[in-house]
C-alpha cells in the first residue's frame, strides 16, 4: 500500500499539490483549466519510505462532454482504482459545486479510503472553511493553501499514517530514458500505448492533446526503460500561449535529460522544414537519435514512392540517422525500434584506444589536409577519447581556431563513418596548445614606404615646433 491519487475538478490545485508532495515541477500549473489530462506519476520519500503520487486530469461534467473529456474521465478512474488513498481536492473560494458532488458519488462507489482536501483556504479558520462541504459527509478533511504551504504537513502525516510505503532502495537507477518528440498529432501517445500494450495515455486526432511530459516505466526482455511522452512541438512563432511555451520548454528539456531520442515524423504530411529544424535541435543535445516515419500505412503506392525520393534528398544531410517506417496504430515494425536501440546502446558502451584514434586522424589528414588560413596551416597533432555520453573526442594541435567549419564537418563525417557511429551524434573538441612565446611582444616590421611616412611625420612635428 503506497499509492496516492489526487482527484478533483479542473483548476482546484491538484497539480500544485502534486508538485509540492513530489518536490518537483513535473506537472504544469496555470490559472487556465484543463492543462492536466494524462495521469502524471511521481514519487515522494518520507522517513526513508517511498510513496507513489498520481496526478489526474480535472473532471468537468457541467459542459458538453466530448471524446477528450471521456478519455480524461477514464484516466482519472484508472488513477483512483490504482490508489490506496484518494485525495479529493475542492476549491474553498468556489464553494461546493455540482461537479464536486458528482465526483464524490463516483469516488464513493469505488470503496476507497478518501480524504477531502479543501484548498485555497486563505484568511479564514478551518472550521468556517469546512462548513460548505459538510454535505459531502467525509470524516477525513484537511484544509490547505498549497500556494502558501499551509496544510501540506497534515497531508504528509496522513499519508504516513494510512500507507505502508516501500523502503527506499540504494540501488542505482538503471532505467534507460527515451524521449519521444515530434510535431502535434504525429502519433507520439499512440506509439507509447502500442509499445506498452495498454491505453496509458490519451490519444486523439486533435493536435495538442498532450501538454505535460509524462514518464512511463516499461520493461522489455529484462531491459528497463522510461518512455517520456512530450507535448507536440510547433514553430516558435506560432506558440503564443504561456502554457504552450512552457510545454515546449519541457519537451526540449526532456530531450536533454533523456538517454535516447525517438523523433516521430508524420509520413502522410512528409518531411517538413520544421521536422528538419527539430532534428537539428535534437542533434545539439548530442543524444542518439532514431527517426520514426509514422502513419506509413496511410500512404498509397504513389505516395510511398514520392516519399522515398524525398527521403533520398533528405539523406544528403541526415543520412547518418537511422529511420524506420512504422504504423503506431497498427503496430507495424515496432519491434525494429528496440532492436536498433539495443544495437546503438552496445556501440555506446565501447571505449576507443588513443592509438586507433590517432591512426584514423593521420589517415584523415592524408586524405584531406586542412587549408592554409592567414598564412598558416592548422596542425592537428593527436586525438584522445573523452566520454561515452555524449560521445566526445578531443583533438590537440596548433592554430586550431583557424580551422574552417567545413573542415570540422569533414572530420565529423570521417570519424563517424570510420567508427560506424550510425545515429550517434559526435562531439569534437578542438584544443590548441599553449604558445610559450605568446606573452612576448612581436616586433612590428615595416616596409620602406611606411618608414618614409613615419620620418616625414616626425619632420613636420619638428618644423611646427620651430
Binding-site entries: 8-15, 55-59, 119-122, 182-189, 229-233, 294-297
- Asked if 150 and 125 touch (Cβ cutoff 8 Å), the reply is no
> Cell for 383?
586525438
Q: How many CB atoms lie within 10 A of CB 455?
A: 10
CA distances to 81, 359, 427 from 342, rounded to whole Å, are 35, 29, 21
- CA torsion 404-409-412-413 (nearest 10°) is -140
| Contact between residue 34 and residue 60 where contact means Cβ atoms under 8 Å apart | yes
Secondary structure letter of residue 235 according to DSSP:
-
CB 379 within 8 A of CB 397: yes
Cell for 353? 584506444
Closest CA to 231 of 275, 185, 192, 272: 185
| Cα–Cα distance measured from residue 214 to residue 231, given in angstroms and rounded to the nearest whole number | 9
**Dist. CA 211–CA 204, nearest whole Å:** 13
Joined grid coordinates for residue 93 = 473560494
Q: Tell me how far CA of residue 313 lies from CA of 48, 279, 294, in angstroms.
A: 56, 15, 19
- Cell numbers 590517432 correspond to what residue? 358
Extract the annotated binding site for GTP: 8-15, 55-59, 119-122, 182-189, 229-233, 294-297
Rounded Cα–Cα distance for residues 171 and 4 (Å): 24
DSSP H helix total and E strand total for the chain:
13, 16
β-strand pairing of 113-119 with 141-143: parallel
Stated as kind and residue range, the H or E segment containing 115 is: strand 113-119
CA dihedral 162, 163, 164, 165 (to 10 degrees): -140
Three-state helix/strand/coil letters over 336-356: HHHHHHHHHHHHHCCCCCHHH
Alpha carbon separation from 74 to 59, 202, 318 (Å, rounded): 10, 9, 41
Distance CA 447, CA 463 (A): 25
In 3D, which of 3, 32, 4, 12 has the Cα closest to residue 146?
Answer: 12
User: Of all helices (H) and strands (E), which one includes residue 21?
Assistant: helix 14-22
Spatial CA neighbour of 53 closest among 41, 65, 63: 41
Amino acid at each position: 500500500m503506497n499509492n496516492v491519487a489526487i482527484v478533483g475538478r479542473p483548476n482546484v490545485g491538484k497539480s500544485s499539490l502534486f508538485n509540492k508532495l513530489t518536490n518537483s515541477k513535473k506537472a504544469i500549473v496555470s490559472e487556465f483549466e484543463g492543462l492536466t489530462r494524462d495521469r502524471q506519476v511521481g514519487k515522494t520519500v518520507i522517513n526513508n519510505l517511498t510513496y507513489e503520487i498520481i496526478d489526474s486530469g480535472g473532471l468537468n461534467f457541467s459542459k458538453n462532454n466530448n471524446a477528450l473529456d471521456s478519455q480524461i474521465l477514464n484516466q482519472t478512474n484508472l488513477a483512483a482504482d490504482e490508489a490506496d488513498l484518494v485525495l479529493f481536492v475542492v476549491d474553498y473560494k468556489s464553494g461546493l459545486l455540482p461537479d464536486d458532488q458528482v465526483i464524490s458519488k463516483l469516488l464513493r462507489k469505488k470503496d476507497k479510503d478518501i480524504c477531502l482536501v479543501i484548498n485555497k483556504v486563505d484568511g479564514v479558520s478551518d472550521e468556517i472553511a469546512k462548513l460548505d462541504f459538510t454535505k459531502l459527509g467525509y470524516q477525513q478533511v484537511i484544509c490547505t493553501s498549497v500556494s502558501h504551504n499551509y496544510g501540506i504537513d497534515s497531508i504528509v502525516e496522513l499519508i504516513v499514517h494510512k500507507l505502508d510505503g516501500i523502503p527506499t532502495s540504494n540501488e542505482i537507477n538503471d532505467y534507460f530514458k527515451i524521449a519521444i518528440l515530434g510535431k502535434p498529432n504525429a502519433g507520439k501517445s499512440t506509439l507509447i500505448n502500442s509499445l506498452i500494450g495498454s491505453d496509458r495515455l490519451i490519444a486523439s486526432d486533435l493536435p495538442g492533446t498532450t501538454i505535460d511530459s509524462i514518464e512511463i516505466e516499461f520493461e522489455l526482455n529484462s531491459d528497463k526503460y522510461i518512455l517520456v511522452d512530450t507535448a507536440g512541438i510547433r514553430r516558435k512563432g506560432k506558440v503564443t500561449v504561456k502554457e504552450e511555451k512552457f510545454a515546449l520548454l519541457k519537451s526540449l528539456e526532456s530531450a536533454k535529460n533523456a538517454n535516447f531520442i525517438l523523433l516521430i515524423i508524420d509520413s502522410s504530411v512528409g518531411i517538413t522544414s520544421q521536422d528538419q529544424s527539430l532534428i537539428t535541435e535534437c542533434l545539439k543535445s548530442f543524444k542518439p537519435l532514431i527517426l520514426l516515419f509514422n502513419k506509413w500505412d496511410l500512404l498509397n503506392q504513389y505516395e510511398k514512392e514520392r516519399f522515398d525520393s524525398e527521403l533520398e534528398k533528405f539523406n544528403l544531410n541526415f543520412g547518418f540517422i537511422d529511420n524506420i517506417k512504422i504504423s503506431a496504430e497498427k503496430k507495424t515494425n515496432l519491434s525494429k525500434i528496440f532492436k536498433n536501440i539495443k544495437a546503438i546502446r552496445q556501440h555506446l558502451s565501447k571505449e576507443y584506444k588513443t592509438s586507433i584514434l590517432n591512426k584514423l586522424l593521420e589517415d584523415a589528414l592524408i586524405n584531406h589536409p586542412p587549408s592554409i588560413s592567414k598564412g598558416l596551416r592548422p596542425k592537428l597533432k593527436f586525438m584522445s577519447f573523452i566520454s561515452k555520453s555524449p560521445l566526445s573526442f578531443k583533438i590537440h594541435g596548433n592554430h586550431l581556431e583557424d580551422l574552417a567549419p567545413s573542415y570540422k564537418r569533414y572530420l565529423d563525417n570521417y570519424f563517424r563513418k570510420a567508427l560506424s557511429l550510425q545515429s550517434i551524434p559526435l562531439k569534437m573538441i578542438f584544443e590548441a596548445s599553449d604558445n610559450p612565446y605568446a606573452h612576448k611582444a612581436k616586433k612590428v616590421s615595416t616596409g620602406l614606404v611606411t618608414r618614409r611616412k613615419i620620418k616625414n611625420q616626425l619632420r613636420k612635428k619638428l618644423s611646427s615646433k620651430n
